[in-house]
Amino acid sequence: MKLLMDVGNSYCKYVTYQNDTFSAVSLVQTHLINQSWLESNFPFLEQCLVSNVSHERFNDSVSSWCKSRGINHCFIKSEAEKFNVQCSYDDPSTFGVDRWLGLLGAEKLFPQQASLIIDSGTATTIDLLSSTGKHQGGWILPGIDLMFSSVINNTNKVFAKSENIKKIKFASNTSDAVNQANWAATLGCISTAISTAHQHYLQPNESLNVILTGGNAQQLSQIIEVEFKLIENLVFIGMNRYNANKSA
């Protein structure tokens, strides 16, 4: 069995992979993960793959446990090129590993096809991958919750409750106005990204896969008005391409 962990500052998402099948995505608070937690949850493990934007001490703990159990393990970092995918950043080490794994996942699922990857979580990231596997660059904007808290925490007399919405419309009260605007801004950015891709990066009549992933992908899928593919485990599809026996 293979364990794949996507570690954030507050939470860790993880799946197992066995018999060519992913488990459902699970979530645990990052600070709860230690060697005892790993031992109790994964007594029979062959490989462990980790992408980590949190603290290095997390890697130390996982590495110590894996070594004590003889488990092959790998801590994945962004690279200039891997699996026919090329990163556009001059310094790939500054490219978020979650974005990197999203590119690898998209290329795995849709080889030789252009893809726009929208990962909507704490931040919303948008990355364009060409049909030849070249990362064309991307954007980062605040996620829905960050936009909401920014308005509430930095204005006077704006009171609102964060809520999901069923469709985009003009609001008749302050709370709805904030929520609607956050989603409208996100959709507007996605629309501009699609337009920019077609105008400046794709061949005439070339198709574009619009991929939704991340914590807000389900909600986004209910209000977006373009054809899309919802792939909630995209990061893990990219991560699973690595082999812990051959650390990259």
Q: How confident is the model over 164-215, as pLDDT tens digits? A: 888 999 999 999 999 999 999 999 999 999 999 999 999 999 999 999 999 8
Q: Which residues are catalytic?
A: 98
Instruction: Using the predicted structure, report yes or no on whether residue 246 has a pLDDT greater than 60.
Output: no
32/163 Cα distance (integer angstroms)? 29
Residues of the domain holding 14: 2-75
147/115 Cα distance (integer angstroms)? 26
Residues 28-86 pLDDT 10s = 998 899 899 999 999 899 999 999 887 778 888 899 999 999 999 999 999 999 999 99
Among candidate residues 34, 55, 75, the one where a domain is terminated: 75
| DSSP letter (8 states) at residue 4 | E
How many domains, in total, are found in the chain? Answer: 2
Whole-structure pTM value: 0.91
Residues 122 and 227 in one domain: yes
Question: Coil, helix or strand for 52?
Answer: strand
Residue 246 lies in a domain: no
Residues 176 and 57 in one domain: no
Residues 41 and 94 in one domain: no
Q: How many CB atoms lie within 10 A of CB 16?
A: 17
